[in-house]
A = this chain, B = another copy of it.
């Protein structure tokens, strides 16, 4: 990211986001492209991305493929320009929703299945080991359910969870829920 088509702030943002990505198992370039598309007011094409991020064209191609595979980036065409242009939703909640959905599908659900299989196959194990496998499975199942519930929430519904009342009051056992 050397070419200075980007403002100082934007560059900081994109850099930081790439850094963040790597910490969560996301390729730096992939994360940077996504950050750039988020902050950009209009769709960018592959050459824009090459210039802004200073990586090889082929890298952009692969990374974009990855991002579209994650349903995070969509291909658009601008009138009178036959190059592919790319966008990502500018609504943060929507992005969150998509990421949660995909990570659940790709990583969480298979693990849940695997845990389930382990519990089934745990006949010879000690009672305590079985208990722990079951607990972990149950925990993950709860998280999975929450993820699914989050998916159907409207944008910005998150606000309802924070504040003086917040999660705390919600989760404390008071009404006989569930």
The interface of chain A, by Cβ under 8 A from chain B, is 7-10, 12-13, 16, 20, 22-25, 38-39, 41, 90, 92-93, 96, 107, 111, 114, 118, 121-122, 124-126, 128-129, 132-133, 135-136, 139, 142-143, 145-146, 149-150, 152-153, 157-168, 170-173, 177-178
In the complex, what residue of chain B is closest to A136 when comparing beta carbons?
B92
Given A23-B25, A133-B13, A166-B145: A159 touches B172 (CB 8 Å cut-off): no
A23 touches B149 (CB 8 A): no
A161, B170: Cβ atoms closer than 8 Å: yes
Distance, CA A122 to CA B145, complexed state (A)? 39
Interface centre among A114, A135, A161 (most CB of B within 10 A): A161
Number of chain copies forming the complex: 2
In the complex, which of the residues B10, B133, B142, B162 contacts A158, with contact meaning CB atoms closer than 8 Å? Answer: B142
Q: Secondary structure at chain A's binding surface: helix, strand, loop or mixed?
A: helix
Q: Closest Cβ of chain B: how far from A59's Cβ, in Å?
A: 21
Chain B residue with the shortest CB-CB distance to A147:
B167
26 example contacts (A-B, Cβ-Cβ < 8 A) are as follows: A9-B118, A9-B121, A9-B122, A9-B129, A9-B133, A10-B129, A13-B133, A16-B111, A20-B107, A24-B24, A24-B107, A38-B136, A39-B129, A41-B126, A41-B129, A90-B132, A143-B158, A152-B168, A153-B167, A157-B173, A158-B171, A159-B178, A160-B171, A160-B172, A160-B178, A161-B171
